[in-house]
Amino acid sequence: MKEFVTVGRVKDGHGLKGELFITLFAGEAAWLPKLKELRLIPPGDLEGPAKTFPVRHARLHKNGLIVLSPDIRGRNEAESLKGWMLEIPGEFLVSEAGEQIYLAEIENFKVDVEGRGEIGRITGFSSNGIQDLLVVATDKGEFEIPFVDAFVQEIDYENETIRMSLPIGLLGEEQDGEPNDGLLNRSASPSN
């Protein structure tokens, strides 16, 4: 697990007191009660120096958060942080036994597919609006695999492996002698 995980972006200042409106990349923030300090990273420089601010108050708002820090004095200062990325400690994204997992917990896990063996590693995540997608780097390119119960057989935390059962064609294999169209293959070029 990474030390810090990027979970949102400052969209704008909010109100006159210097509150920040931060949009979240995920639809929830179960970690919000643990948030005692904002860690913001400059836009376009995720390796750049972080600015930290104590949190006086934070609440959910639309698809994000409204956060007030005593160290951000007024709307102009809040607006100067527009575009900065919010990071939280990776330890905030560790599920307890029986809870739904956080995707960050399985980043870099190997993907083992029934009947095909290890196909690659999870390098990131996406969404199609209905379900989460695992971005998996394989020797054939990057593929987006739906992260759904029907496909997941086991998550082996000790060996950092996800065992899956996937339909033929999802990874660009030939089906009945016909090549797959590569729609889920990020590295495939569109064919007309």
What CATH number did the domain enclosing 154 receive? Answer: 2.30.30.240
* pLDDT at residue 87, rounded to an integer: 92
* pLDDT at residue 120, rounded to an integer: 95
Q: Report phi then psi at 60, rounded to 5.
A: -70, 145
- Regarding whether 102 and 89 lie in a shared domain, the answer is no
Nearest to 30 by CA among 78, 65, 67: 65
* pLDDT at residue 181, rounded to an integer: 46
- Regarding whether 101 and 149 lie in a shared domain, the answer is yes
Q: Within a 10 A sphere around the Cβ of 73, how many other Cβ atoms?
A: 11
- Regarding whether 40 and 103 lie in a shared domain, the answer is no
* pLDDT at residue 138, rounded to an integer: 92
- Regarding whether 125 and 56 lie in a shared domain, the answer is no
pLDDT digits (tens, 9 = 90+) for 51-84: 999 999 999 988 889 999 999 999 999 999 999 9
Nearest to 77 by CA among 26, 17, 11, 129: 17
Q: Report phi then psi at 62, rounded to 5.
A: 50, -120
- Regarding whether 131 and 62 lie in a shared domain, the answer is no
- Regarding whether 157 and 124 lie in a shared domain, the answer is yes
What does the alpha-carbon distance between residue 136 and residue 66 come to, in Å, rounded to a whole number?
34
**Residue whose token pair is 């300090």:** 37
State the total domains in the chain.
2
Tell which phi-psi region holds residue 153, choosing left (phi > 0), alpha (psi between -120 and 50) or beta: alpha
Q: Which of 65, 93, 121 is the last residue of a domain?
A: 93
- Regarding whether 82 and 21 lie in a shared domain, the answer is yes
* pLDDT at residue 79, rounded to an integer: 95
Q: Which of 58, 93, 128 is the last residue of a domain?
A: 93
What does the alpha-carbon distance between residue 23 and residue 69 come to, in Å, rounded to a whole number?
17
* pLDDT at residue 105, rounded to an integer: 87
- Regarding whether 156 and 74 lie in a shared domain, the answer is no
- Regarding whether 182 and 102 lie in a shared domain, the answer is yes
pTM: 0.63
**Residue whose token pair is 């950092």:** 160
Q: Which of 64, 93, 122 is the last residue of a domain?
A: 93
User: What residues in the chain have per-residue pLDDT under 50?
Assistant: 176, 178, 180-192
- Regarding whether 174 and 100 lie in a shared domain, the answer is yes
- Regarding whether 117 and 77 lie in a shared domain, the answer is no
* pLDDT at residue 125, rounded to an integer: 83
Strands (E), the chain: 4-14, 19-24, 37-41, 51-54, 57-61, 64-68, 85-89, 110-113, 117-127, 132-138, 141-146, 152-156, 161-164
- Regarding whether 25 and 79 lie in a shared domain, the answer is yes
**CATH code of 87's domain:** 2.40.30.60
* pLDDT at residue 15, rounded to an integer: 86
Domain extent for 68: 4-93
